[in-house]
């Protein structure tokens, strides 16, 4: 099978390497294909501007584009225009791909006051990022066949070189929220493994999966854990009035029911591997 990865960055490259190791031909579309490793055939395309040429035998299409900036305009260019151009290219295929997998985000769910959120929870994003990602999901479902379209809503990705919380603890800038505030996280490698799993599993996939690890942890616990691992003092607590956006606990039960298993079931295993220097961030 040929796998096409549109927006082949850190996550897309890790997934591509795994598809290649399993014997698939992998093509990565991006504006700077020269950054891709030899296992992935790079093709230059600016997907927010142009309809790419796809190989005739693309059996799986993965869309893992990310916005260049945290603005409405940049989000729309990547997630809506980019997806739309990939779907235009798919429409020209004589043989349609078996699966089209869109990488989305748990940002499509509103804050839920600490309640559990899963695929059946209504999507009511409050911020522009979630609204535009939801628009992209709806675009996929309206244009791709019911049995083709799969959306993977990832939590916050951490991994090699993606060390925001570690850096906060090291620099003394970390603060522990005064109210319980959950963080729904996924190690980059497990997110990549999910992409391969959902694209290749025998059983007919559902339309949507939540992609987070097994432990929706309190941010304060993650920061305390990192401080301990790094042998730094425990970060101070934040004043109660200054906690920022709310709270939700994402469930990965549907994904687990497909037989997916985690290399890093919680932040503890994942961060220990990062602190031990395992893995690299793909450019
Ligand atoms: N960060 C998180 O915590 C998080 C959480 C949930 C979901 N996600 C989703 O995870 C996905 C992958 O993220 P990532 O970490 O792999 O991001 P990344 O490393 O920034 O990769 C995104 C890739 O998209 C390519 N790209 C961007 N605009 C493009 C365009 N107009 N045409 C062609 N290629 C374009 C970029 O390559 P070039 O610059 O070479 O074009 C880049 O390599 C994204 O869909 C993101 O929304 C992320």
Rounded CA separation 88/51 (Å): 7
Which whole number is the average pLDDT over 46-74?
95
Distance CA 110, CA 124 (A): 5
Evaluate if residue 158 carries a pLDDT over 80. yes
DSSP per-residue codes, 184-209: -EEEHHHHHHHHHHHHH-SSPPPSEE
Q: Report the nearest atom of ligand 1 relative to the CA of 156.
A: 3
Q: What pLDDT sits at residue 150? A: 98
* pLDDT of residue 238 exceeding 90: no
For residue 254, the model assigns a pLDDT of 98
d(CA 155, CA 146): 24
2-275: CATH superfamily: NAD(P)-binding Rossmann-like Domain (3.40.50.720)
Query: What's the chain's average pLDDT?
Result: 94
pLDDT above 70 covers a percentage of the chain that reads 97
Nearest-atom number in ligand 1 for the CA of 31 is 41
**Which position has the token pair 């796809």?**
54
Per-residue pLDDT for 242 more than 80?
no
Cβ contact 238:174 at 8 Å:
no
Kindly give the distance from the C-alpha atom of residue 53 to the centroid of ligand 1, in angstroms, as a whole number.
20
Question: What residue's CA is closest to ligand 1, atom 33?
Answer: 30
Task: For a ligand 1 pocket test, name from 27, 33, 65 the mutation site with the most ligand atoms within 8 angstroms of its C-beta.
Answer: 65
Residue 178 CA to ligand 1 centre (angstroms) = 33
d(CA 276, CA 218): 23
Dihedrals phi, psi of 208, to nearest 5 degrees: -135, 140
- Looking at per-residue pLDDT, the higher value among 58 and 242 belongs to 58
Residue 145 pLDDT level (bands cut at 50, 70, 90):
confident
In the chain, pLDDT over 90 holds for what percent of residues? 87
Place of tokens 């083709």: 148
**Per-residue DSSP letters for 30-78?**
ES-GGGS-TTSEEEE--TTT-PPPPPTTEEEEEE----SSSSHHHHIII
Q: What is the pLDDT of residues 165-208, one digit of tens each?
A: 999 999 999 999 888 889 999 999 999 999 999 999 999 999 99
User: Which residues, judged by CB distance below 6 Å to any ligand atom, belong to the binding site of ligand 1?
Assistant: 7-12, 29-32, 45-48, 64-66, 78, 82, 103, 105, 154, 156-157
- Give, in degrees to the nearest 5, the angle at Cα 32 between 133 and 8: 45
**Angle at which helices 164-171 and 219-230 pack, to 10 degrees?**
60
Domain range annotation of the chain: 2-275
- pLDDT at position 245 over 70: no
- Burial (CB < 10 A; 0-12, 13-18, 19+), residue 178, is middle
d(CA 4, CA 62): 6
Mapping DSSP to helix (H, G, I), strand (E, B) and coil, where does residue 116 land? Answer: strand
pLDDT at 94 over 90: no
């Amino acid at each position: 099978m040929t796998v096409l990865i549109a927006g082949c960055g850190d996550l897309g490259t890790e997934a591509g390497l795994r598809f290649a190791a399993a014997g698939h031909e992998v093509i990565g579309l991006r504006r700077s294909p020269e950054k891709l490793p030899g296992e992935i055939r790079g093709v230059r395309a600016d997907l927010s501007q142009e309809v790419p040429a796809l190989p005739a035998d693309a059996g799986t299409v993965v869309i893992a584009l990310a916005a260049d900036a945290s603005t409405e305009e940049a989000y729309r260019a990547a997630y809506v225009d980019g997806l739309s151009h990939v779907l235009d290219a798919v429409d020209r295929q004589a043989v349609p791909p078996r699966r089209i997998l869109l990488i989305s985000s748990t940002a499509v769910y509103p804050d839920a006051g600490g309640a559990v959120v899963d695929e059946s929870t209504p999507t009511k994003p409050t911020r522009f990022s979630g609204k535009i990602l939801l628009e992209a999901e709806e675009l996929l479902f309206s244009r791709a066949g019911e049995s083709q379209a799969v959306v993977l809503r990832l939590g916050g990705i951490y991994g090699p070189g993606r060390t925001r919380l570690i850096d906060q603890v090291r620099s003394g800038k970390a603060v522990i929220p005064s109210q319980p505030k959950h963080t729904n996280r996924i190690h980059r490698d497990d997110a990549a493994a999910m992409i391969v799993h959902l694209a290749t599993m025998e059983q007919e996939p559902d339309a949507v999966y939540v992609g987070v690890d097994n432990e929706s942890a309190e941010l304060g616990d993650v920061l305390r854990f990192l401080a301990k691992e790094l042998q730094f003092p425990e970060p101070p607590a934040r004043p109660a009035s200054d906690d920022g956006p709310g709270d939700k606990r994402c469930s990965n039960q549907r994904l687990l029911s497909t037989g997916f298993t985690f290399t890093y079931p919680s932040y503890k295993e994942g961060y220990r591997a990062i602190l031990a220097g395992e893995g690299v961030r793909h450019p």
